[in-house]
A and B are shown apart, each in its own frame.
Chain A
Amino acid sequence: MYEIIEGFLEAFRLIITFDSDVMAIAARSIVISLTATIIASLLAVPLGAAINFGTFPGRKSLINLIQTLYSLPTVVVGLLIFLLISRVGPFGFLRLLFTPTAMVIAQTILILPIMTGLTISALSGVDPVIRDTLRSLGATRLQFLVNILKEARFAILAAVAVGFGRAISEVGAAILVGGNIAASSFASSTRVLTTAISLETSMGNISQSIALGIVLLIIALGVNLVITTVQHR
């Protein structure tokens, strides 16, 4: 018990003094996961719209598949990407292993299914009368899509928040493709909150782990809080 309390106290000290190690790791987590979320959004939203409004054989099966991929084990994705970008793998020449770029790729792939699926839900939740109204007002295909997205904007924003939350909380793939490297430069390191917590815990640095854990919580919950507030205005 004493160890836990001691740990928490030290953790607060690290946070309040903006300890540079902790902040660097936090910043890196945000940058990597935010990048992944943005890329995934740019892919998921048009893809979701295309699937939702498209008519093609196997559409329902595709949507089912996407929803099944929600529970894709992160470490499996990590393993797959590791095998692909390792020097002996097909994309080895890109020298991506153990770089932040690889982590962005892994997280993007990880959150793509859930963001696409939630986008599809959001769009199909738009009242059919709204769809008819837009078409009857003479919307071109593009205008139609843009306006439907506007109507569903809150649900889509929620999807983005879910994606970010998932990306920043992920540890399996991050360790496999990132290597949890603490290099001397910000841009070469691949240590993020989740992998750092894993390392510090295994090394017995409880207070460091707790500090990192608290920061991760603040970020993950903070993003959701902001999104929810925006939605309720």
Chain B
Amino acid sequence: MRVLRYVYLIAMQKRTIFAVAAVMVALMLICGCTGTTTDPAPVEKQQLRIATTTSLYDTKLLDHLTPIFEEEYNAEVLIVSAGTGKAIEYGQRGDVDVLMVHDRAREDAFLADGYGVNRRVFAYNYFVLVGPESDPAGIAGMQPEAAFTAIRETGMAGNASVIFVSRGDASGTHSKEQAIWKAAGFNYSTEVKGSGDWYQEAGTGMGATLEMANEKEAYTLSDIGTYLAYKGDLDLVTLVDEGDILLNVYCAMQINPAKYPDINSTVAKDWVNFMISDDVQKEVASFGVDQYGQPLFYAAQDDWEKIGVTEAEVKDPIA
């Protein structure tokens, strides 16, 4: 006890506290500053700003690829991740040099409005419909449209154990979900949204949505990457994973330098070409195997027909 008292007295000395605090801060600054600096290149590095979606970013594919790019092109890659809607907005405002999203419809509009140029597709995978193992709506193995219909029917009929959790934000996943509802023949805003307790909107990212679905033992639509990342902590299983409509195509495109002249269009072009280069396509195809036992993505290089895009979009480097 006495020792403790002495320790307390010494600790409470103003000088001691200052010293400890100073040492801690110094340590942090030293570790922090040296820990992440790469070789200081005397030449001014070019900076590349990329806006992407959380679901793509959270798979850590980009973090895996950026060091390779930075080394080869002597550049610094700054990635901002947000929901698809937000990422597109950054692109429209010219705050970034490259946009990487996975929403064909909105990408088309973006290109048509002249905000983006030179879209290239570099990867694809599938959305999955996950839910509780008990599968109260009985959708296992169905086609996506039929599964959605079944969920809605049972939910509207009053089966309290049937719940669907939606992203409910402006994300690519949410757009996909809405597309499936439409394909199944429903008017989203009148017949699905707010139509009953069975349909709940999370309004958050994919990870949080999955956790919510897990808590409620509910169904939800997820990209494969996030689902695999969270699988260990979830009791949800994959119930529907086949169907063309579940296709999830990732692209990278430059922000139009004609609209925003001071964009780093050179390094942006380099990045997009990088993504469709042979070596990177190999990386993409094998990414995640070690960790999850299956790859998170498929390389787009040879499957342009399957995913419904032109060969030029997956093969031709930007001039």
Contact = CB atoms under 8 A, between A and B. Distances in A.
Contacts of A28: 32
A181 B76 CA distance: 11
A183 B54 CA distance: 16
A229 B12 contact: yes
B28 A27 contact: yes
A202 B226 CA distance: 11
B18 interface: yes
A78 to B, nearest CB: 13
B29 A30 contact: yes
Interface in A67-98: 86-88, 92, 95, 97-98
A184 B79 contact: no
A230 B94 CA distance: 48
Contacts of B35: 20-21, 23-24
Contacts of A226: 17-18, 21
Nearest to A99: B78
Contacts of A183: 76-79
Interface residues of B, number: 44
Contacts of A88: 93-94
B309 to A, nearest CB: 29
B204 interface: yes
Interface in B1-58: 12, 14, 17-18, 21, 24-25, 27-29, 31-33, 35-38, 47, 49, 54, 58
B205 interface: yes
Given A179-B80, A181-B79, A226-B18, A23 B31 contact: yes
Contact of A188 (B31, B47, B95, B204): B47
B80 A230 contact: no
B68 to A, nearest CB: 11
A31 B93 CA distance: 29
A141 interface: no
B286 interface: no
B29 A184 contact: no
Nearest to A20: B35
A226 B80 CA distance: 36
A82 B28 CA distance: 30
Interface in B54-105: 54, 58, 63, 66-67, 70, 76-81, 93-95
Interface residues of A, number: 38
Contacts of B204: 202
A159 interface: no
A188 B79 CA distance: 11
A20 B205 contact: no
B117 interface: no
B233 interface: yes
A179 B25 CA distance: 25
Contact of A202 (B28, B31, B54): B54
Given A27-B28, A30-B25, A87-B93, A180 B80 contact: yes
B33 A27 contact: yes
A233 B77 CA distance: 49
Contacts of A179: 78, 80
A192 B37 CA distance: 16
A204 B233 contact: yes
B47 A186 contact: no
Interface of B: 12, 14, 17-18, 21, 24-25, 27-29, 31-33, 35-38, 47, 49, 54, 58, 63, 66-67, 70, 76-81, 93-95, 204-205, 207-208, 211, 229-230, 233, 260, 262
Given A28-B32, A180-B80, 4 more contacts: A24-B33, A186-B37, A202-B58, A222-B24
8 closest A-B pairs (Cβ-Cβ)?
A27-B32, A20-B35, A179-B80, A23-B31, A24-B32, A87-B94, A23-B32, A181-B78
14 contacts: A20-B31, A24-B33, A24-B36, A26-B32, A92-B94, A185-B76, A186-B33, A189-B78, A202-B54, A203-B229, A225-B17, A226-B17, A226-B21, A230-B14
